[in-house]
Every structure is written in C-alpha cells, then in structure tokens.
Amino acid sequence: MPAENFDIMDPALVEDAFGQYGRLREEQPLTPIVYPGVDTTIWLVTRYEDVKAVLNDPRLVRDRRSVPGMEGPSITDRMIEAYGLPEEYRDYFEGMVIMDGKNHARLRTLVTPSFTVRRVNERRERVGWILDQILDGVAGKEQIDLIEDVAFPLAGNVVCDLIGVDEQDWPRFHRWIHDFNVGDPALLVTCVPEMIEYTKALIERRRSAPGDDMISRMIQTSDEDGGRLTDTEMVNMVLLLLHAGHNPTAHFVANAVLAFLDNPDQLELLRSKPELVQGAVREMLRLGGSVHLVAPMYATEDVEIAGVRVRQGEAVMAALAAANGDPRRFPEPVRIDLTRQMGPGDGHVAFGHGPHYCLGAALAKLTGEAVFERLIIKEKGLTLAVPREALERQQMPGAYQLKSLPVRL
C-alpha cells in the first residue's frame, strides 16, 4: 500500500491493520488520506508520540466551525439533510463528541463522577451477574455467535444499567443502536426519534424517582448548581454514552476472544495464572481495540506535526491502532504478551488521550475482565465453530470489527 496514496478503505487494511499501518508509519508517519464523506485534506498520524501529542493539542479542534473560514454546515446539518430527520431533533446531535474547550470540559465534568474507577468497580458484581444471565441463556446451544449472542447484549446491558435505563427496556436500546449503526435512512428516521423521546421520558421519571444511576446524578448535579446541564444536554449525553458503550466494547470482546484462540500459549497462560486478568485486558486492548481512528480534528492555525506543516483548516486523524503497534513504544508489537509492562496508566492509546479520552474506559476494562474470568478462563471447551479463514471483518473506516464470531462453548 503506497504511503503517498493511502486508501483508508483498502480491504488489506481490514485484514492486516498492524502490518499496513506499520509500513505507513515507517515510510511516511504523517500522510494525506482520502476519507469517505470529508471534503478537506486529512492527515493521518501514525506514531505513538505524535498521536498522543495531537490528541492533546488545543490548536486542533473537533468542531470545524471554530476554524476561521470554515463556518459552513456542521456534521449535524449534513446528517439531518442526508437522512431526512425531523428538524425538531437538531439540537440532540450537538453532543460532547464534537465540542471543544470550556464547553466540552463543563459537560465532561458533570458526567465523569459516574465513570470513575471507584464508581465502576462498585458495579463489579452487577456486571458479573449480567454476564452470567447471558451465558445461562445460551447454555446448551450447539454453537453461538459470540458477538450477537454474548458480546453485544453484554456491553449494551452493562452501560444501560449504569446509565439508568430500566432493565425491561434494555432490548429496545439494543434494537435502536443496531438500526442506527446500519445507516439506513428508513431505519434512522424511526429509531432516532424513538430513542430521543424515550430518553426524555426517562429523565422525567428519574427526576421524580431518582436511583443509583448516572441520570439521577446528572439531574441532582444540575438542580443543585442552577441548571448547568439542560435536559437537551442530558439527552445528548445519554445517547452518546449508550451508543459508544455498545459497539466498541462488544467488538473488543470478540477481537480478544479470537486473539486468544489464535494464540493458545497465551490462553493457557491466562488459565494457569488468572491473576494476569487485568494485564491481559490491557494487552488485548492494545492489540484488539475496535476503534482504530478518532474523529477528524481541524487545525485552527498552521501546526507542525512529524516535521510536516499542517495548514489552518486541514484535518488530522490519529490512528490509534498504528500508535499501539509502534515498536518505538512496544517491543515486538505484533506479539501478544500478557505479561507486557507498559508503565503507568493505560500505556496504550486504545481509549484515546487528552481531553476526549474515552469516558467509558473503566467500564470497558471491567467488562473485559468479566469476560476473561467467566468465559475465557472457565469455558475450557471454547473453540471456533467455523474454519478460521471463514471469518470476515466489516469494511468500515476507522473500525476493526468482525461480522460474526461463531463459537462452541
């Protein structure tokens, strides 16, 4: 794959992301790419230190309207027009993911208390119970699709539970998120309003009957502080976290299970030393994180990155998978090593870095630990139900997702 003509939709990137990114990283660590639906120059950043630097650089912003001369239609405007969504729902798409600076920090501060390591770890038994219920439901089946039958409902139920969605409504959100991800306008025009209206009603229920959940804490914080978080902002936050909590974690679980089956020595090591679970999750996130690219960031002024001048208005995308395979940071990066020492914090950048570091990181790690403990370590009969070469990955820019993962337990 020539570095000077990098195609982000090349099937080779889906099948061998570490290899393709590796060649690009060594030949041209900052390279222009063509990205579907984006009409400006985009530079792809691939080295570990450069990725961390750009993700923490205030001169690079998510909202292109903040850049002089780029005050045109926003991503929301384009989505409303492309999918024929009702204008009344426009405000529900201006979420934290495209915000910058003080406004982004304000919203993040109000929701962060629900996602601290301490708060998430308090739910360890609850997450284990959710997974046990799912595994009980597939027990005795000759084979299952690990993604559809286990990973997706697990990730979704865990985040729904933490946020405050009523248990009987968890399947509704699974359907809505699935329909949203398909991208079919006929499905979007139905599922988006349904999600928004349900969430608005849920906020009202929690306002009158609070519980031990994120929505209740957001309401309490807002009411105590003079309404710093509006109901529209709360809806945006809930929908953002529910969407982000489903797919990335589910596909990380699938990627990790497949990686263990591909590396039986590491599988046996984990089974013989269960105390390695946290390190195993860390290493598998480095190698199997399902989000490979972050959203474009736009230069508010000329910026030098990896020795290249990125001009005002041009976009930069950080390749998380490329950074996580950088041999300057990780010796023998393509080798799975559950005992790998990565230093303080995550070590990797699977959850991003800087102001937009993934809010749900602690929850994703806890979910991974539950899967490793209850499925990978205990289910000694876990095997692929189809030939390895029959597995396919979805052709999606920036994501590393299997279409399915048929297994036997």
The rounded distance, in Å, linking the Cα atoms of 310 and 304 is: 6
C-alpha distances (whole Å) from 191 to each of 44, 176, 182 are 33, 5, 11
The rounded distance, in Å, linking the Cα atoms of 168 and 390 is: 36
CA atoms within 13 A on the CB side of 341: 1
Q: Per mean pLDDT, which range of 109-113, 119-123, 296-300, 381-385 is the poorest?
A: 109-113
pLDDT for res 382:
94
pLDDT for res 73:
64
Q: Name the band, by pLDDT with cuts 50, 70 and 90, for residue 34.
A: confident
pLDDT for res 95:
63
Query: Is 3's pLDDT higher than 50?
Result: no
> Percentage of the chain with pLDDT > 90?
56
pLDDT for res 343:
84
Mean pLDDT score, 55-75:
82
Chain centre to alpha carbon of residue 387: 28
Mean pLDDT score, 134-151:
95
Query: Is 128's pLDDT higher than 50?
Result: yes
Six-digit token string for 54: 């750009």
Question: Can you give the three-state secondary structure of 119-172, one letter per residue?
Answer: HHHCCHHHHHHHHHHHHHHHCCCCCEEHHHHHHHHHHHHHHHHHHCCCHHHHHH
> Percentage of the chain with pLDDT > 70?
89
Q: Diameter of the chain by CA atoms?
A: 61
Six-digit token string for 57: 């650089």
Can you name the residues that pair with 32 across neighbouring β-strands? 43
What's the pTM?
0.90
Query: Is 80's pLDDT higher than 70?
Result: no
pLDDT for res 219:
84
Residues with Cβ < 8 Å from 129, sequence gap 6 or more? none
The rounded distance, in Å, linking the Cα atoms of 3 and 111 is: 40
User: Which helix (DSSP H) or strand (DSSP E) does residue 61 occupy?
Assistant: strand 60-61
3-408: CATH superfamily: Cytochrome P450 (1.10.630.10)
Average pLDDT in the chain? 88
pLDDT for res 348:
96
pLDDT for res 190:
87
In 3D, which of 180, 172, 132, 179 has the Cα closest to residue 156? Answer: 172
Query: Is 66's pLDDT higher than 70?
Result: yes
pLDDT for res 368:
96
pLDDT for res 1:
42
Q: Name the band, by pLDDT with cuts 50, 70 and 90, for residue 2.
A: very low
In 3D, which of 86, 243, 248 has the Cα closest to residue 165? Answer: 243
Residue 289 burial by CB count (10 A; 0-12/13-18/19+): exposed, middle or buried?
buried
Which phi and psi angles does 242 have, rounded to 5°? Answer: -65, -40
Which is higher by pLDDT, 12 or 74?
A: 12
Query: Is 17's pLDDT higher than 80?
Result: yes
CA atoms within 13 A on the CB side of 108: 17
pLDDT for res 186:
83
The rounded distance, in Å, linking the Cα atoms of 330 and 15 is: 21
pLDDT for res 75:
56
The rounded distance, in Å, linking the Cα atoms of 292 and 278 is: 22
In 3D, which of 213, 285, 215 has the Cα closest to residue 255? Answer: 285
Which is higher by pLDDT, 176 or 183?
A: 176
Q: Per mean pLDDT, which range of 52-56, 83-87, 199-203, 381-385 is the poorest?
A: 83-87
User: Which helix (DSSP H) or strand (DSSP E) does residue 394 occupy?
Assistant: none
pLDDT in tens, 337-387: 999 999 888 999 999 999 999 989 999 999 999 999 999 999 999 999 999
Which phi and psi angles does 185 have, rounded to 5°? Answer: -55, -35
Mean pLDDT score, 315-341:
95
Q: How far apart are the first and last CA of the chain?
A: 39
